[in-house]
Structure 1
Amino acid sequence: MAGRGRGRGRGQLTFNIEAVGIGKGEVLPPGTFQPTPLFPPMENKPVPLQSGEEAEYMLALKQELRGAMKSLPYFVKPAAPKKDVERYSDKYQSSEPADNTIEWNPDWRRLPRELKIRVRKPQKEKAPIGMPLRKKQTYVEKEEIIRKLEVRVSVVF
């Protein structure tokens, strides 16, 4: 029942074996029974590490910068590895405190204006557009207006 497949033919290799360095009819090299060495011999020796006060100072600065970056609120902490079985009560138990706030006062002159935090003040209530604001009239002013209207009405009739 062998050989019932389609198309590819039998005994043909899918790559050119002559490109590898083996001609047709040649015997293949013998198999190896030992693993390859873990670290092959190095052709070039590595450059020795810098030592001295300047290198130690730069290393200390780098470590301080990395520590400061990790303490910022924008540092994304890696997620804890999930357990094999997720339990319903696991999401209600928090192992670390929820307060992530820290005091951070950057020099805003060095940062773009778009990043500056702006606290918006509450807007004042505006009067409705259709009604103009009027001052309250006193009782005396109302009486004067009524007299003027009575005088005008009496003149018309």
Structure 2
Amino acid sequence: MKKRRGFMQLAILHLLKEESMHGYQVMKELENRSGGLYSASAGTVYPALQELLEQEMIDLEPTSNKKTYVIKEKGIERLEDFAGRREGEFWEKWKERWIWQNSKEAIALKAAIEQWDAEVRKAIKQARRNPEDTAKLIGFIKETTERLQRENE
């Protein structure tokens, strides 16, 4: 499970614990809970709902004429497991996440990562022609990774 989608799944489980909803309601409520900073897309919400169905954490409400989702015991257990490992209220963290995502710092960091990615891809393309360049690139990436790990200790 992707980390992003995992966080999305947790948000959906929190919503469904409060009440049954169909997909559009889920999207609108996720946007509301972020204070309008996050606009949920069908391409994010519906795959997360499908995975939750496959994992048997949610189900479709049998009496509804729309695809209305309800949380199951396994979904409640997932929320309890998350609550046991984290501090703070989920929706506060949800909003903080979107405040950060929209900050100047996050936007600048994303741009720097995109530039890094483009340069690494160029270096890989060039390294294909010469095994010595490949070894240098691997060394550079390992060195950079170790430096990041030291910074994050």
Please report the TM-score for the alignment, with normalisation by the length of structure 1: 0.20
Task: Specify the structure having the higher radius of gyration (Cα).
Answer: 1
Please report the TM-score for the alignment, with normalisation by the length of structure 2: 0.20
Name the structure where strand makes up a greater proportion of residues: 2
